[in-house]
Each structure stands twice: as C-alpha cells, then as structure tokens.
Amino acid sequence: MRAPRGTGIVLLALFAAAPPALVGQQDAAAAGKVVYDRWCAECHGEAGQGDGSAAASMLPRPRDFAQALYQIRTTGSGQLPTDADIRFAIENGLPGTTMPGWPNLTDQEIDDVIVYLKSFSRFFAQGPAPEPLDFGSDPGGGPAAIEAGAAAYLTMLCEECHGLSGRGDGTSAPTLEDWRGLPIRAADLTEAWVFNGGSSVEDMHTRMLTGLDGTPMPSAIDAMNSGVVSPDEVWQLAHYLASFGPREMPPLREVIRVGRAEGGLPADGGEEAWAGVEAFHFPLSGQVVQLPRNFAPTVDGLWVQGLHDGIDVALRVQWNDPSNSPDPNWDEWQNKITAALDLDGAEPIALDSAGAPTVRPPDAVLLQFPFEMPEGTDRPYFLMGDAREPVYLWTWDSETGVGAARGRGLDSVEPLAEDPVAGEATWEEGRWTLYVRRPIEVESDGLDFVEGTPTPIAFQAWDGSSAEVGKRSSVSTWYYILLEPPASSTVVVTPLLAMLLTGAFGLVLVRRAQDRRRDR
C-alpha cells in the first residue's frame, strides 16, 4: 500500500527532533502503521480521518482519529481517551456499528497501532496524559435501586431522546446529529447487546459519567455537580437501564412453536392474551444481496409468538422502530438519512419547494412462506422466491394494513385478494405489535399449514422514515414455524408396549435357560 501524503508529514513533524525517549515511540508508530494499513485504513482512511472507501455505506461513520473525538472513554467529557480506552475499543469492537473486535492482533500490534492512531491528532502530543475519572462504587442493585433509577431517568430527561420505554423514540430522537451533522440514533436501551461501550452496569455507568463525545449524549457530571442527581442515583440509573432487557442477544431458535390455545385464540395483539406465550427472537440483516442494498437498516430483529386452535392460526410479531411512519416529525431525519447514506443506486426521495420529502414511505413487515408445502427440505429462494418457485406472503404496511400476496422475487409482488388473512398493527413507544390471523387450511390460493410439520418462514421489515422502500429492507433467511398437533396416545402407548414386550421376552429367555439347567 502506498504511504499516504499526510502521514509522512505528521510523523516527521512529530519525531523530527525526537529526544531519545521518543525513538521507541517512533519505531512503534512505524510498526503500528503496518498494522493500520493492513486492517484499518480501508474504513478509517489512510490519514485516519474516517473517510475510507467504504465509509459512506456506514452509519455511524468510522472514527476520525484526526479529530480525536472518542465516544468510549473513561476520561471526562471533552478529554482524550487513555491508551487503555483505545485498547478496549480495539479488543471488544463497538457493537451496533461496523467496527469488530480484533482478536487476530497481538498485544504488541495493538500497542503499536495505538501509538500510530494517536499520531493522527496533534492533541495527544500536547499536554499531560489523560487520567480516568473517579467512578465511585456501586451502592448495589435490587428493586429499590431500580425504582430510584427510574425516577432519575426522568429527572435527567433521558426520555427526551431514549423514550419512556427506552426504545430510542423520544421526542428529540428525530433531530439528533453527531459532530459531523450526520443523523444518529438514540440508543435502543432494550437491546443492550448493541451498546457500543459494553452492556454491564459498570459500562453503562461509565458511559453516563463520561458522555459519548461527538454525539448528543452528554456527561452526567454537570447534573451531579449542580445537585440535580447524586452519584448514587446515577448508579441506580445504570441498574434501571440494565433492567430494560437482556444483556445478550436472545439465543436463536430455528423453530417457532405454535401451541394450542386453551379457551380460544386471542382476538388482537393485546398484552393480556399473549402474556406467557413463548416468544422467539430472529435477528434481521440489511438486504445486502441485490442492488440497491441497505447497509444501515433500522429494524435489526423481531419477536414472534403464535397460537392455534386447530382451525385458525394467530401470530403476534413485535419489532422496535422509533418512528411511526409516515410521520412529518421525521421528515428532517428522512432527508438526512437520504443525504448521508450511500443508497447504492436507489433513487433518493425528491423534496418539494419547502424542503419536505414528496414521499413519506410507510413502515412495513412481511412474513414469507413457501407457496406450497415443499418436498423434503427444498425451499423457494429466501429473498421472496423467484419466477420458478413463488412464495406466499402475509404483508402489512402502516397505510394499507394486512393482506396476502404471491412473491416471485424482491420486485414482483402480486396481491391475493381472495385470501382470508386478517389482522392489525399498533405502534406504541417505539414498538410495533402486529396481529395476524388466518385459517390453517384455505380454499383459495396459498399455503395450507399441516399440524406437526415444520413450515418454512422468513421475515422482512422496512422503516419508512429512514427512506427504506423496495429492496432497501431488513431481511432474514429461512426458519420454521410448527403448529403443535393434538396430544396423541401413541406417545404413551408405544414405549409401554415396547417395555412390556421386552420384559416378557426376557422373562421367557431366563425361564427357559433355568429349566434347561435343571433338566441337565
């Protein structure tokens, strides 16, 4: 790789008159440059400005080391990170972004690359080495702490961005920008596994005290110093945040079990009827298979629950989306996303003379099945089938509601007006809840479910306010849905019969052997 123009000058300026102590630094920076050019430069750019060739398809963008604005630190707001902070990000990666952890690098290589990263900014060479804050000690969790933390959540106005239920749907959420002026999401606090600074109580407390420099997330230190909250209350707030959801992504289970409903199917997606019904989580990816691709999708997973009564099957699908599209409050966000993200050839949505988008796409989800029950394990192509093998779709969008369709590829959807699928969706505090219901077997075109036989199922989702339309969606590959068959007596009878027969056979054998011995 060619040496970038800027780098040599930076290195020269730094080390031209290097005293002997800095000679080691110079070697380290040179070694770090080798590692950097090999693994980091394509995203972070050869001069470390976060402008590598792939940067435009990433939101948030790669870090600009020349600015030395680091989100993940243990130092005060506006201060430089410690070497250990930079190491933390390199070793663990930044979940929820495109930055992975780097277990392939040795300790020495990481040390070297840290020296080189710091050389991109003049700030590290000035002034003393940054010192970590004093984080105090955790007074402990428990229900009382969580309750106090919930109060602090409101005192500190967390809900203005993160929303009352923490799903990143606060009233300010559509306006948020990072230091570059690019749109940035308020973190969805219910998905701790995509927190870029770690998901433990300590991690969250640290992030609150340091703030995330370069983003709208402030440090809590000012609020503590002015007496708005006490140090203990910030710890309690961290415990409250930890209570929003699991730390790890829920384990993937390939088969959605649809149990038999006791006393009738739920009539809607309401909480009472579905409480206690097992929920299955499926991660979604951006549609990055066909042009135009979606490199930074909004919906990163959904939850599915199901019940049936032998006649109808009902499903409840829930996913987090901070915007109830179409919503003019998100116009500015939609415009900024359109401008900031590489749309991969997709036509950007035009603006009217007042600067408002001429189209506000709806939110949408679809559930995909094979059109007919497949032979063996063969299935239609997972991206809505193809001309040869169509898929059967349950479609929903926030403008036209629930319907059925036949899909022959991502851009070929033909509605099936006769299909009896019905349902509705509601949006509340950053979450859609979709309820769909249909007979298990139908007269018209489309799939018949078979109790006890796994049926392939796949998902797709769109966030209209992030200009997600057409192929720019979130997708999954195939999973299964299984309607529990009625309890069968063979489960009990067959093993009993096998035991009885074996036992009797054994008795006869032993008896005969003993008789023969006595005869002898």
Partner 1 sequence: MRRYLSHPFWQGAIVVVASYVAFEYVIGYVLPVIGVASAPVPSSVIVEYMLIVLVGVLLYMSADEERWQRFREPIRATMVQPDRRTVRGILMVAFPVLIGWLAYERVKPSYAAPATLRAVHPAPPNQLTFRGETIELTGLENPLREEGSMEEHLAVGKRIYVRNCVPCHGDLLDGQGHYAQAFNPVPADFTSSGNLPQLTESYVFWRIVKGGPGLPREGTPWDSAMPAWETILEQDEIWATILYLYDQTGFPPRTWEEEGGHE
> Measured from the CB of residue 84, what is the shortest distance to partner 1 in angstroms?
22
> Measured from the CB of residue 503, what is the shortest distance to partner 1 in angstroms?
4
Q: Binding to partner 1 by residue 514, rule CB under 8 A? A: yes
> Measured from the CB of residue 43, what is the shortest distance to partner 1 in angstroms?
6
> Measured from the CB of residue 308, what is the shortest distance to partner 1 in angstroms?
14
Which helix (H) or strand (E) segment holds residue 238: the answer is helix 231-242
Taking CB under 8 A as the binding criterion, the range among 106-114, 304-312, 418-426, 495-503 that sits at the site for partner 1 is 495-503
3-state secondary structure of 33: helix
Please answer whether residues 189 and 244 qualify as being in contact, where contact means their C-beta atoms are separated by less than 8 angstroms: yes
Q: What angle do CA 60, 159, 241 make, to 5 degrees?
A: 80
Please answer whether residues 392 and 369 qualify as being in contact, where contact means their C-beta atoms are separated by less than 8 angstroms: yes
Pick 329 or 502: Cβ nearer partner 1 = 502
CA distance 186 to 176: 7
Bridge-based pairing of strands 255-260 and 479-483 is parallel
Answer for which of 11, 22, 30, 39 binds partner 1 (CB under 8 A) is 39
Pick 37 or 147: Cβ nearer partner 1 = 37
Please answer whether residues 210 and 219 qualify as being in contact, where contact means their C-beta atoms are separated by less than 8 angstroms: yes
Q: Binding to partner 1 by residue 485, rule CB under 8 A? A: yes
Taking CB under 8 A as the binding criterion, the range among 18-26, 329-337, 430-438, 502-510 that sits at the site for partner 1 is 502-510
Handedness of CA 141, 147, 153, 159 (dihedral sign): positive
Take residue 240 and report the two structure tokens written for it: 């409250």
Pick 62 or 81: Cβ nearer partner 1 = 62
Strand partners, 406: 392, 414
> Measured from the CB of residue 473, what is the shortest distance to partner 1 in angstroms?
12
Answer for which of 3, 13, 252, 356 binds partner 1 (CB under 8 A) is 252
> Measured from the CB of residue 273, what is the shortest distance to partner 1 in angstroms?
22
Please answer whether residues 191 and 300 qualify as being in contact, where contact means their C-beta atoms are separated by less than 8 angstroms: yes
Q: Binding to partner 1 by residue 257, rule CB under 8 A? A: yes
Closest CA to 463 of 397, 379, 372, 388: 397
Distance of CA 143 to the CA centre of its chain: 28
Taking CB under 8 A as the binding criterion, the range among 51-59, 138-146, 317-325, 329-337 that sits at the site for partner 1 is 51-59
Taking CB under 8 A as the binding criterion, the range among 121-129, 157-165, 428-436, 474-482 that sits at the site for partner 1 is 474-482
> Measured from the CB of residue 21, what is the shortest distance to partner 1 in angstroms?
34
Helix extents (H) in 170-229: 201-210, 221-225
Q: Binding to partner 1 by residue 181, rule CB under 8 A? A: no
Q: Binding to partner 1 by residue 288, rule CB under 8 A? A: yes
Q: Binding to partner 1 by residue 517, rule CB under 8 A? A: yes
For residues 289 to 328, the per-residue mask of contacts with partner 1, x marking binding by CB under 8 A and - elsewhere, is xxx---x---------------------------------
Closest CA to 447 of 400, 486, 389: 389
Taking CB under 8 A as the binding criterion, the range among 136-144, 223-231, 281-289, 309-317 that sits at the site for partner 1 is 281-289
Pick 11 or 105: Cβ nearer partner 1 = 105
Q: What angle do CA 16, 21, 22 make, to 5 degrees?
A: 35
Answer for which of 136, 283, 401, 415 binds partner 1 (CB under 8 A) is 283
Taking CB under 8 A as the binding criterion, the range among 79-87, 199-207, 325-333, 374-382 that sits at the site for partner 1 is 374-382
Pick 180 or 379: Cβ nearer partner 1 = 379
Query: Helices H, strands E: what count in the chain?
Result: 13, 14
3-state secondary structure of 471: coil
- For partner 1 (CB under 8 A), the number of binding residues is 69
Residues 437-456 touching partner 1, rule: CB under 8 A, are 452, 454
Strand partners, 314: 307, 437
CA distances from 3 to 9, 37, 482 (A): 11, 9, 58
Answer for which of 284, 313, 315, 364 binds partner 1 (CB under 8 A) is 284
Q: Binding to partner 1 by residue 281, rule CB under 8 A? A: no
**266: Cβ–Cβ under 8 A, 6 or more apart, which residues?**
273, 274, 307, 314, 316, 435
Q: Binding to partner 1 by residue 480, rule CB under 8 A? A: yes
Give per-residue burial for 75-88: e unless 16+ CB within 10 Å, then b: bbbebbbbbebbbb
Q: Binding to partner 1 by residue 426, rule CB under 8 A? A: no
Which helix (H) or strand (E) segment holds residue 37: the answer is helix 21-39
Pick 126 or 490: Cβ nearer partner 1 = 490
CA distance 419 to 442: 8
Which helix (H) or strand (E) segment holds residue 315: the answer is strand 312-320
Residues 396-425 touching partner 1, rule: CB under 8 A, are none
Closest CA to 327 of 470, 165, 472, 173: 173
- Interface contacts to partner 1, rule CB under 8 A: 1-2, 38-39, 42-43, 52-54, 57, 97-98, 100, 102-104, 249, 252, 254-255, 257, 282-286, 288-291, 295, 377-382, 386, 389, 452, 454, 475-480, 482, 484-485, 488, 490-491, 494-500, 502-503, 506-507, 509-510, 513-514, 517
